């Protein structure tokens, strides 16, 4: 079974290690390759996938660009407008989005309540799109703070979200009244000393999730824990989006613990 990941660049991906370990744990013959694909090579790559792969994951910058090459979209992928998993069913390519359910599985596994939550998402990029849709579908009240207001307003219109802002003072008020805050910006990723939310704006209780997994402990999470809040890093979402993709390709129950171990091993 040939599997892989399409993205550009792909230097830091944990997915090959995670999926190779999962295939081996289940005794499945197969491989998972990092298929680095610059934008101008996407069409050719998708031909190759159609001919020779059982499926692929799709990451930056192709999650939207891949859609015209697919024969069918799952309802989730269609609603979110992004595909992170392609399944090849005898030459017909299906697009799925496991980022959205993967994010929720990570919360569930940690016992974090989200169904009636008053949520604040920091950021309005590709990751925010899947998470906003997932939380809204699950019955949370979803608000967004983003540097560029128009990107947040676009998600608000598409998904019927609550308030969105690019204003620091409004954001402070929204943060203090949230019981679930999710960082999807790349702020703590690019600079470990930076944080997308000032510590004094953290609410008195609740949970802070940072989908950044490298570093595993961001400044945002450190400050949230110091303030007595529950925290969750980015590894659960990474592992669960992979596990759900693996299940789509193989039809087998994914060895989630093995996938966690493989991902952690790569981060150390």
CA distance 159 to 179: 20
CA angle centred on 215, ends 204 and 113, rounded to 5°: 40
CA distance 69 to 85: 13
Binding mask 74-113 for ligand ATR (x = CB under 6 A): ----------------------------------------
Q: Min. distance of Cβ 31 from ligand ATR in angstroms? A: 27
Annotated binding site for NADP(+): 123-127, 146-151, 211, 234
Q: According to CB under 6 A, which one of 17, 58, 124, 181 is a site residue for ligand ATR? A: 124
Instruction: For ligand ATR, give the closer residue by CB, 88 or 146.
Output: 146
Residue corresponding to tokens 């660009």:
65
Q: According to CB under 6 A, which one of 15, 146, 218, 250 is a site residue for ligand ATR? A: 146
Task: Check residue 126 for interaction with ligand ATR (CB under 6 A).
Answer: yes
CA distance 62 to 110: 30
CA distance 40 to 25: 36
Annotated binding site for shikimate: 13-15, 59, 84, 99, 213, 241
Annotated binding site: 13-15, 59, 84, 99, 123-127, 146-151, 211, 213, 234, 241
Instruction: For ligand ATR, give the closer residue by CB, 127 or 175.
Output: 127
Q: According to CB under 6 A, which one of 107, 121, 127, 212 is a site residue for ligand ATR? A: 127
CA distance 238 to 59: 12
Which of the ranges 15-23, 141-149, 199-207, 240-248 carries the binding residues for ligand ATR, by CB under 6 A?
141-149
- Residue 143 region, left (φ>0) first, then alpha (ψ -120 to 50), else beta? beta
Give φ, ψ of 134 to 5 degrees.
Answer: -60, -45
CA distance 194 to 37: 31
For the record, the structure tokens of 12 come out as 């830091």
Assess whether 118 carries a catalytic annotation: no
Using Cβ positions, the residue closest to ligand ATR within the complex turns out to be 125
Q: Min. distance of Cβ 228 from ligand ATR in angstroms? A: 26
Instruction: For ligand ATR, give the closer residue by CB, 124 or 237.
Output: 124
CB 43 within 8 A of CB 69: yes
Binding mask 158-197 for ligand ATR (x = CB under 6 A): --------------------------xxxx----------
Tell me the residue length of the chain: 268
For residue 110, the number of C-alpha atoms closer than 13 Å in the C-beta half-sphere is 20
CB 202 within 8 A of CB 147: no
CB 73 within 8 A of CB 67: yes
Name which of residues 52 to 71 contact ligand ATR (CB under 6 A).
Answer: 60
Q: Catalytic residue numbers?
A: 63
Binding residues (CB under 6 A) for ligand ATR: these are: 60, 123-128, 146-148, 151, 184-187
């Amino acid at each position: 079974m040939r599997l892989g990941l399409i993205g550009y660049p792909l230097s830091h991906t944990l997915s090959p290690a995670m999926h190779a370990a999962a295939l081996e744990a289940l005794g499945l013959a197969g491989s998972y390759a990092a298929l680095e694909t610059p934008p101008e090579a996407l069409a050719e790559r998708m031909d190759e996938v159609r001919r020779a792969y059982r499926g692929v994951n799709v990451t930056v910058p192709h999650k939207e660009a891949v859609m015209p090459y697919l024969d069918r979209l799952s309802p989730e992928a269609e609603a979110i407008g992004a595909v992170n998993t392609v399944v090849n069913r005898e030459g017909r390519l299906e697009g799925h989005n496991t980022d959205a359910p993967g994010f929720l599985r990570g919360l569930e596994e940690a016992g974090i309540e989200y169904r009636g939550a008053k949520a604040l998402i920091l950021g309005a990029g590709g990751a925010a799109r899947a998470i906003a849709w997932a939380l809204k579908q699950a019955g949370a009240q979803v608000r967004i703070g983003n540097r560029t207001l128009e990107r947040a307003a676009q998600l608000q219109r598409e998904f019927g979200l609550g308030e969105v802002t690019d204003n620091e003072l409004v954001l402070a008020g929204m943060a203090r009244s949230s019981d679930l805050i999710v960082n999807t910006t790349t702020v703590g990723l690019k600079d470990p000393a930076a944080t997308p939310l000032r510590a004094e704006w953290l609410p008195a209780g609740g949970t802070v999730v940072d989908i950044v997994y490298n570093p595993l402990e961001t400044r945002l999470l450190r400050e949230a824990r110091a303030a007595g809040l529950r925290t969750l890093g980015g590894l659960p979402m990474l592992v669960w989006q992979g596990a759900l993709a693996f299940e789509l390709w193989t039809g087998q129950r994914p060895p989630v613990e093995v996938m966690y171990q493989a991902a952690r091993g790569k981060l150390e």
